[in-house]
Amino acid sequence: MKTVLVTGASSGIGRATARRLDAAGWKVFAGVRREEDAAALRAGSSSRLEPLILDVLDADAIAAAAERLEAEPGGLDGLVPNAGSAFAGPLETLPLDLFREQLELNLTAQLATIQAVMPAIRRARGRLILISSDGGRVALPYTGAYHASKYGIEAIGDSLRQELAPWGIKVVLILPGAIDTEIWTRGEVVADKMFEESPRTRELYGSQTDKYREFIHKVAKDAIPPEKVAARIEVALTKPRPRARYMVGLDAQVVARLGPVIPPAIFDWVIAKTMRLPKPDADS
């Protein structure tokens, strides 16, 4: 029986992935932070699914999860370090603690999880499926911290793919576009608090970020279900020769492929127009 660890399985992409792989016959270790999320997952899954209480910012919890996986005789066939968050805030005034938190959760904790479970992955010659984003290929205004974390995951994915190739361990990056999960509302709570606490942010960026919010609400309305990402993750885990990257959703296909090759002046103009932001300075 194939085994996989999915972190951040309490909601969204992680939950959809845990459920899909469980239904496909995998033994799923589902990382959650609360007992009630463990119970909810168990309720809708086969008896194979095993929730692990796993806060990926807690080194002891990661070590305990790795120890549990060490007991699996065949090792671990797949790791999906999916836990993450996203929030908006202009970089000029973004509290550094929030910036660090974003990088810590979306980037460093992913590597910490990978490192801890690599012995089990090696035993099974398993795969690493990293959750990037189309925002790992292009950066929009007001979400710089998120983009920094996802550009970082892109780099980690590319480096790991090459480093682990000699052992036949495959590393795949998943780049979803807008997906209908709780990440949007959770991020808005963080952004609201930041704006509330920073008069300078409100004064300098208030009107622009209001427009940005309208844009994000529109994007979120068109978001596709997390099950679409879960389906692609299953492909990445099972295809004999998976691609290095899978984009999920038309928006991701367009943005992640075209964004990086469009000249910056044109890119900035298109983004400003789409978000109805002030036009970029003609001299820049």
Q: Check if the beta carbon of residue 131 is closer than 8 Å to that of residue 172.
A: no
Whether 212 sits among the annotated catalytic residues: the reply is no
Give 36's contacts (C-beta < 8 A, 6+ positions apart): none
Write the interaction track for ligand NDP spanning residues 201-240; mark x where CB under 6 A is met and - where it is not. ----------------------x--x--------------
* Choices 50-58, 114-122, 199-207, 255-263; region in contact with ligand NDP by CB under 6 A: 50-58
* Choices 21-29, 79-87, 192-200, 259-267; region in contact with ligand NDP by CB under 6 A: 79-87
Q: Which residue is nearest to ligand NDP (CB)?
A: 12
The yes or no reply on residue 186 touching ligand NDP (CB under 6 A) is yes
For the bound state, the minimum distance from the C-beta of residue 26 to ligand NDP, rounded and expressed in Å, comes to 18
Q: Return phi, psi of residue 69, to 5°.
A: -70, -30
Please identify which residue in 65, 183, 247, 275 interacts with ligand NDP, judged by CB under 6 A: 183
For the bound state, the minimum distance from the C-beta of residue 14 to ligand NDP, rounded and expressed in Å, comes to 5
How many residues line the site for ligand NDP (CB under 6 A)? 30
Q: Give the active site residue among 142, 146, 212, 246.
A: 146
Write the interaction track for ligand NDP spanning residues 3-42; mark x where CB under 6 A is met and - where it is not. ----xx-xxxxx------------------x---------
The yes or no reply on residue 152 touching ligand NDP (CB under 6 A) is no
Question: Which residues are near ligand NDP by CB under 6 A?
Answer: 7-8, 10-14, 33, 54-57, 82-86, 105-106, 131, 133, 176, 178-179, 181-183, 186, 223, 226
- Annotated active-site positions, please? 146
